[in-house]
Structures are given as C-alpha cells and as structure tokens.
C-alpha cells in the first residue's frame, strides 16, 4: 500500500476529489501575477512549491513547524497592498490552530490560507494526522471565526476559489484533499539567503 | 536621560519603542505587563493585539519584519518557555531582529513552583542560542539598555530579550 490519503470520518463525507499536491501547487502559482507573497510551510508543501518555480516573493520555511500562517499574517499587516498566501499542510496547521482565531480577529483582507490535507504526517513516515479520521479543518477554521473557509471539491473549484480569494475580501481559507505522493523538489537550506531573497522580492526596506 | 527617569517603567518602554519605529506589538497577556499593554493600546501609533501563543506571536513579528514593519513580542516567563523551537529554527538562523519583552516570574517572591522552575530555564536557553539578553532591575538604566539594544538588534540583525525583573516592575505579589 501506498501512503495514499484515505480520509475517513467527516472529511470523507464531503465527497471531495483526492487531488495531487504538485499539480495543485502549479495551478495556484499560475494565478500569482501581481507579486503576491507566498509563505511555504515546512516539508513536502515547500518541496512542491520550490519545484514549481522559485519566485522571489516566496518564503520557504526550514523549521518552526506551524508558523506559516502567523508569518503570513505578519507580512500581510506590514504590506496591506500586497496579497499574501500561507501554504500549509494538515499536520502543521493542527500544531498551531490558535492562529486561525488570531487571523479571524485581525481579519486582514489580503490574506489567503491554503491547506493541503492528506491526513498524514507524510515526511516523518506517513503516520495519520487527526484529519485522517476525525478532524475537519474547514469546520475548525469556521469555528475559529474564518467564515470564508471551504473545501475545494476538485481542481476547477480550487481555481475559482483561489482566484476569488486573492482578488481581496479575505481572510479566506481553502482546503484541498491531496494524495500521498511525496514532494518533488528540495529547497535550499540557507536561512539567511532565503530571508534576504524574500525581502528583496517583496521590496522590504528594513 | 535624567528627564525620563521619573517616568514609570512602562512609559519609558513605550517611548523607546516609538523612538525606534517599533509599531507592531503582539502579546500574550501577563498581569505585570498590563500597564504597558493598556498604554500601547491607548496610543494610535501602535498596532497592538494578542496572539494565542508566544511562538505564534514570534511568527507574526518575523513576518512583519520581513515585510518592513518593526515589531516586538510581550510575554511572561512561562510563555518564553514555549519559544525555543521558533527561536532556534526561525529567528536565530534567519537573523531576525525580534524584540522580546519578558515579565519575569519565578523569582524574588514567587509563590508558584511551576513558575520558579520555568524561570530557571530561561537564561540558559537564551545563552545557548546566543541571544542577547538583559535583565533590567533599575528604572534609571531602563532607557539606556532598551534604546541601545533595540538599535543594536536592527544594526546587527539579531534578536534581543529584555527580562523585566520584579525589582523594576514590582512583580506579581502573592494573593494571600
């Protein structure tokens, strides 16, 4: 058996298509035409983001699991004219759920959270996460106060939801069920270079 | 600096934050810090809000710094104990000048053993990570330490922790 995503419980009831992370990441990045910043969470999320193309406006986390959304919130507050995307996996988001409540309170219009949910701690050996069985991340986000939270049923719906989200009117959370295919790329491992590239990419002064 | 030494400690901190362009304040609440948090909320210069957890606050301030907005995190001693991973895997290796203000619990009259134990982990963690840290006990040294250290943090792209001793703030007094 593969480490194919086999959600049971509430997520399975949504009758969602199980998609592929690399293919969805490609679709997502194709929408980014106005210098949108992307904060990539650790692990396979980042590996596929890297593989799709190293945009200067991408920040690739190397540790601090769970902090993609808080980092993205900080960028969104600092640069209200720029749209910011936090890209996270289910395991990472589950580690720092309180950030959803903080985002809901601050309600930045220029923030979109995208969650790839394969129900697995894939990079550590595909142990099941809570979303594999019982946790519904979109329901949790709504419960935290993020009214614009939804599952993407298939690729076309993801495209529509994401295009609408980055047009403004956020914060928005979009979650997609993905399969257990491993990430394809490998990020660089120099934190200072990643940070300086990103700051240059979003033209930060300090 | 003599003209400011008569001000309460929290007004000195607020003034130095403002003087150094530190506009974003993210905190996890603490009784001793309440006077500072209230004063920051009352000043429209600052964007001030609570995070649910200290490492979340560090992430927010890191993102803001990368976006060009200076920020600080306020927390108490036990909250600092949640931070080593975020410091070791994000702030320190990425050279992020995050400012941390820690209200010191666990010493000088502590009534909660848990706080006392956590307090003992704080400075060894900061020292192990090579994070500049100052324990501030006197209001006549407060402005100098904070102002110089904030400038150093930005000039050297390094985080700094200010540990606010009960000698400075009065600390939290045993209720009964």
Residue of chain B with shortest Cα separation from A61: B90
Residue A1 has pLDDT above 50, yes or no: no
Which one of B56, B61, B67 has the shortest CB-CB distance to A202? B67
The chain-wide mean pLDDT, for chain A, equals 94
Residues in chain A with CB shorter than 8 Å from the CB of B59 are 64, 67, 69-71, 73-74, 99
Choose among B47, B131, B147, B50: nearest CA to B91: B131
pLDDT value of residue B4: 47
Residue B175 has pLDDT above 70, yes or no: no
- Cβ pairs A/B, distance under 8 A: 129
In tens, the pLDDT along A110-142 reads 999 999 999 999 999 999 999 999 999 999 999
pLDDT value of residue A2: 44
| Mean pLDDT, range B51-59, rounded to an integer | 98
Choose among B53, B122, B52: nearest CA to B81: B122
- Band of the pLDDT at B139, cuts 50, 70, 90? very high
The chain-wide mean pLDDT, for chain B, equals 95
Specify the pTM: 0.96
Q: How far apart are CA A155 and CA B99, in angstroms?
A: 42
How far is the alpha carbon of A5 from chain B, nearest alpha carbon, in Å? Answer: 29
| Joined tokens for residue B54 | 């200290």
| Joined tokens for residue A144 | 């935290």
pLDDT value of residue A3: 45
* Residue A59 three-state SS: strand
Instruction: Tell me which of A74, A95, A145, A204 to substitute to probe the interface with B (most B C-beta atoms closer than 10 Å).
Output: A74
- Band of the pLDDT at B163, cuts 50, 70, 90? very high
Contact: B56, A194; criterion CB under 8 Å: no
Task: Give this complex's ipTM.
Answer: 0.95
| Joined tokens for residue A25 | 């990441």
Least confident of A120-124, B16-20, B36-40: A120-124
In tens, the pLDDT along A171-190 reads 999 999 999 999 999 999 99
pLDDT value of residue A22: 98
Residue A40 CA, distance from chain mean position: 7
**To the nearest whole percent, how much of chain A has pLDDT over 70?**
96
Interface check B85 vs A, CB under 8 A: yes
Residue B5 has pLDDT above 70, yes or no: no
pLDDT value of residue B173: 79
Residue B137 has pLDDT above 60, yes or no: yes
Residue A4 has pLDDT above 90, yes or no: no
- Specify the residue for token string 């600080």: B72
Question: Counting every residue, how long is chain B?
Answer: 176
- Band of the pLDDT at B6, cuts 50, 70, 90? confident
Rg (C-alpha) for chain A, rounded Å, is: 16
**B 55-74: CB under 8 A from A:** 55-71
In tens, the pLDDT along A27-55 reads 999 999 999 999 999 999 999 999 999 99
- Band of the pLDDT at A15, cuts 50, 70, 90? confident
Q: Using an 8 Å Cβ cutoff, are B143 and B79 in contact?
A: no
Q: How far apart are CA B29 and CA B65, in angstroms?
A: 22
B41-44 contacts: CB < 8 A, separation 24 or more?
A: B43/B14, B43/B18
């Amino acid at each position: 058996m593969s480490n194919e995503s086999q959600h049971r419980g509430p997520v399975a009831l949504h009758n969602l298509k199980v998609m592929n992370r690399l293919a969805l990441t490609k679709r997502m990045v194709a929408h980014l035409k106005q210098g949108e910043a992307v904060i990539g969470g650790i692990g396979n999320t980042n590996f596929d983001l890297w593989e799709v193309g190293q945009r200067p406006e991408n920040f690739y986390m190397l540790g601090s699991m769970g902090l993609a959304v808080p980092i993205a919130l900080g960028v969104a507050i600092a640069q209200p004219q720029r749209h910011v995307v936090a890209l996270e996996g289910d395991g990472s988001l589950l580690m720092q759920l309180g950030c959803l409540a903080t985002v809901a309170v601050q309600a930045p219009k220029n923030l979109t959270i995208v969650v790839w949910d394969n129900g697995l701690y894939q990079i550590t050996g595909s142990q099941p996460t809570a979303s594999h069985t019982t946790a519904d991340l979109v329901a949790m986000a709504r419960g935290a106060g993020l009214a614009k939270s939804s599952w993407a049923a298939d690729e076309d719906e993801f495209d529509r939801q994401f295009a609408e989200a980055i047009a403004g009117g956020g914060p928005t959370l979009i979650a997609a069920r993905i399969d257990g295919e491993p990430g394809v790329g490998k990020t660089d491992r120099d934190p200072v270079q990643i940070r300086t590239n990103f700051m240059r990419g979003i033209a930060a002064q300090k | 600096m003599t003209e400011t030494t008569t001000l309460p400690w929290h007004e000195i901190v607020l003034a130095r934050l403002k003087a150094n362009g530190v506009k974003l304040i993210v905190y996890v609440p603490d009784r001793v810090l309440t006077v500072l948090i209230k004063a920051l909320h009352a000043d429209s210069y600052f964007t001030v809000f609570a995070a649910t957890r200290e490492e979340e606050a560090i992430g927010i301030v890191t993102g803001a710094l990368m976006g060009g907005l200076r920020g600080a995190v306020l927390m108490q001693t036990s909250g600092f104990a949640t931070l080593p991973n975020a410091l070791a895997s994000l702030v320190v290796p990425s050279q992020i000048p995050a400012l941390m203000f820690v209200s010191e619990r666990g010493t000088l009259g502590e009534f909660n053993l848990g706080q006392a134990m956590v307090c003992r982990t704080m400075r060894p963690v900061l020292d192990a990570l090579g994070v500049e840290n100052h324990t501030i006990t006197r209001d006549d040294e407060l402005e100098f330490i904070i102002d110089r250290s904030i400038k150093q943090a930005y000039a050297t792209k390094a985080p700094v922790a200010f540990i606010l001793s009960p000698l400075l703030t009065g600390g939290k007094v045993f209720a009964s």
